[in-house]
């Protein structure tokens, strides 16, 4: 269809909101003008010799084909090209559109539409094309890629991390993760967000980079487990990411939507419950979490709204401020007003809907583009749980650590999450081998203490897998039993892992 027609029928999902839309139910077939499509298909049927049909939805246009080459690209690379104004949205001619608007349309419409088509075609791929590096395409047979995905779903692995700067970003990841020292900062790292991250797959001497979501789509039961798959479908429900404010600034004061609200307004069926695990801190590190008992809802909202004009808001007057130390675990169920303060390195463990953050106050600063960052008080005020006050927070959300098991050279602790959240977390301290079992449930872990550890199969079902400090790794449900022990420079020293799974 014409770009104008596509703009018209995608509008209910794109909306006028600066950040948020509605998760579309559209399919790629609806983007085509049926008369033009029929004419093209008649032309194809009358053609002789070799005919190549290319572009998004080419399989729909062709109808039938002798050879299908699927060109794939990771989400992080799509975002980079959007920022450089190199690509347009699906069926649009909007290369010059500002990045936030392009991204929003892609998030709520384009990627949903394209993923529905991808899932239909995966078993029919003859070849798969890695298009992440401009002018350097790589290709493997569809059979080889499918075999690689099946193997990946049967052993521990990491996704390719994605680092990005931000107005509050810090300096910790530059050093620990060995990043570009000339960068102004690094605020985020998506270290386990399969929709955003990619996988590296080796085929002989060639390494291909493909979206990690391909694994979720192609091997959901082996990766997630039967119970998680039956609850979430082919969707990865656990997110691990980093928030670096070391020598940076406070995150925005924010709240995440309640389940009913996110379902009604944005088309998501679960919300962004989360937690902050303090991977590292300076002496003045803190989190803002929960409201003071004395807070008057109407007065707070009035002051937040006024701050958008005056640039002045006293967060300490309304929101409780808690000192935190290394290895503290702070729980943040949806509806709780919160943010991490400066001088902390947060391992954020959360449910996956990751753009649904309602900013209430951003400390009067500008974004990386030099423009005011969007504030979402209209949404936020409808989702604040006003009963989440200081006394409730202290009792329910701060460092709820219970030792539940121990053995020769190891100890297991339960650290969270709140009973309203579906993610369970367990921390293991160990100087010797620790035995784990997925129990048919997806496991996501991070090495929160120690230089190196090694993940092994008691039966030799997979090759030993070495992980390093602060690295997140995934153990598919199909793995079953596995062990973790200190390795290399960490042998003889105490290590720690934090493991998350769906209750």
Is the pLDDT at 372 greater than 80? The verdict is: no
Q: Write down the pLDDT at residue 416.
A: 82
- DSSP β-ladder status, 127-130 and 69-72: parallel
Nearest to 438 by CA among 354, 500, 361, 374: 500
Is the pLDDT at 368 greater than 80? The verdict is: no
For residue 29, give Cα distances in angstroms to 72, 92, 109, 117, 123. 19, 16, 13, 9, 19
* Domain 238-396 = CATH 1.10.1060.10: no
Q: What pTM was computed for the model? A: 0.95
Average pLDDT score over the chain: 95
Q: Determine the CATH number of domain 402-502.
A: 2.60.120.10
pLDDT over 70 percentage in the chain: 100
Span 447-489, pLDDT tens digits: 999 999 999 999 999 999 999 999 999 999 999 999 999 999 9
CA distance 358 to 314: 18
- With tokens 């960490």, the residue in question is 490
Nearest to 400 by CA among 413, 410, 411: 413
CA distance 12 to 351: 26
Same fold for the pair 238-396 and 402-502? yes
Is the pLDDT at 364 greater than 90? The verdict is: no
CA distance 89 to 34: 21
Span 289-329, pLDDT tens digits: 999 999 999 999 999 999 988 889 999 999 999 999 999 99
Triad 444, 249, 98: Cα angle to 5°: 80
Q: How confident is the model at residue 370 (pLDDT cuts 50, 70, 90)?
A: confident
Is the pLDDT at 353 greater than 90? The verdict is: no
Span 277-288, pLDDT tens digits: 999 999 999 999
Mean pLDDT of 132-154: 97
Mean pLDDT of 151-180: 96
- With tokens 């209430």, the residue in question is 360
Where do the domains of the chain lie? 1-124, 238-396, 402-502
Cβ atoms of 238 and 500 within 8 Å: the answer is: yes
CA distance 502 to 423: 5
Q: How confident is the model at residue 264 (pLDDT cuts 50, 70, 90)?
A: very high
Q: Write down the pLDDT at residue 175.
A: 94
**Residue 396 CA neighbour count, 13 Å, CB half:** 16
pLDDT over 90 percentage in the chain: 95
Q: Write down the pLDDT at residue 354.
A: 74
CA distance 352 to 502: 12
Cβ atoms of 244 and 172 within 8 Å: the answer is: yes
CA distance 388 to 385: 6
Q: Write down the pLDDT at residue 367.
A: 75
CA distance 23 to 107: 8
Sign of the four-CA dihedral 55, 57, 63, 65: positive
DSSP-derived 3-state class of residue 17:
coil
Triad 192, 103, 57: Cα angle to 5°: 90
Mean pLDDT of 79-96: 95
Lowest mean pLDDT among 129-138, 229-238, 366-375: 366-375
Q: Write down the pLDDT at residue 202.
A: 96
CA distance 254 to 17: 18
Q: How confident is the model at residue 352 (pLDDT cuts 50, 70, 90)?
A: confident
């Amino acid at each position: 269809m014409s770009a104008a027609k596509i703009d018209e029928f995608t509008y209910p999902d794109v909306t006028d909101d600066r950040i948020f839309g509605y998760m579309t139910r559209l399919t790629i077939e609806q983007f085509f003008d049926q008369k033009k499509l029929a004419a093209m298909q008649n032309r194809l049927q009358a053609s002789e010799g070799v005919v190549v049909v290319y572009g998004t939805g080419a399989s729909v246009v062709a109808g039938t084909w002798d050879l299908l080459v699927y060109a794939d690209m990771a989400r992080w690379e799509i975002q980079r090209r959007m920022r450089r104004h190199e690509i347009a949205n699906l069926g649009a001619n909007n290369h010059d559109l500002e990045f936030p608007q392009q991204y929003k349309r892609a998030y709520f419409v384009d990627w949903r539409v394209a993923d529905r088509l991808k899932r239909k075609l995966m078993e029919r791929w003859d070849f798969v094309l890695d298009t992440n590096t401009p002018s350097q395409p790589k290709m493997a047979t569809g059979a080889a890629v499918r075999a690689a995905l099946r193997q990946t779903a049967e052993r521990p692995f990491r996704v390719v991390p994605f680092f990005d700067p931000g107005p509050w970003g810090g300096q910790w990841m530059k050093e620990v993760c060995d990043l570009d020292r000339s960068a102004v900062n690094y605020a985020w790292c998506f270290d386990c967000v399969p929709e955003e991250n990619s996988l590296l797959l080796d085929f002989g001497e060639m390494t291909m980079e493909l979206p990690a979501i391909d694994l979720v789509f192609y091997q959901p039961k082996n990766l997630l487990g039967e119970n998680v798959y039956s609850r979430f479908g082919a969707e990865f429900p656990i997110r691990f990411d980093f928030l670096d404010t070391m020598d940076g600034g406070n995150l925005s004061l924010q709240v995440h939507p309640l389940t009913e609200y996110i379902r009604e307004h944005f088309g998501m069926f679960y919300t962004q419950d989360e937690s902050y695990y303090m991977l590292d801190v300076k002496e003045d590190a803190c989190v803002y979490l929960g409201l003071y008992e004395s807070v008057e809802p109407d007065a707070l909202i009035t002051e937040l709204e006024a701050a958008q004009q005056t640039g002045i808001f006293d967060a300490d007057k309304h929101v409780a401020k808690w000192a935190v130390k290394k290895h503290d675990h702070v729980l943040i169920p949806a509806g709780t007003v919160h943010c991490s303060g400066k001088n902390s390195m947060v391992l954020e463990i959360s449910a996956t809907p990751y753009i649904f953050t309602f900013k209430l106050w951003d400390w009067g600063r500008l974004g990386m583009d030099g423009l005011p960052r969007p504030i979402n008080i209209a949404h936020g005020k409808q989702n604040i749980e006003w009963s989440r006050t200081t006394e409730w927070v202290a009792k329910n959300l701060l460092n709820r650590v219970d030792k539940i098991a121990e053995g020769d050279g190891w100890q297991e602790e339960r650290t969270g999450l709140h009973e309203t959240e579906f993610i369970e977390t367990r921390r293991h301290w160990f100087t010797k081998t620790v035995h784990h079992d997925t129990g048919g449930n997806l496991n996501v872990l991070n090495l929160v203490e120690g230089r190196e550890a090694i993940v092994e199969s008691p039966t030799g079902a997979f090759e030993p897998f070495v992980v390093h400090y602060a690295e997140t790794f995934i153990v598919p449900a199909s793995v079953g039993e596995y062990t973790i022990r200190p390795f290399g420079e960490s042998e003889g020293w105490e290590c720690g892992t934090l493991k998350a799974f769906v209750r």
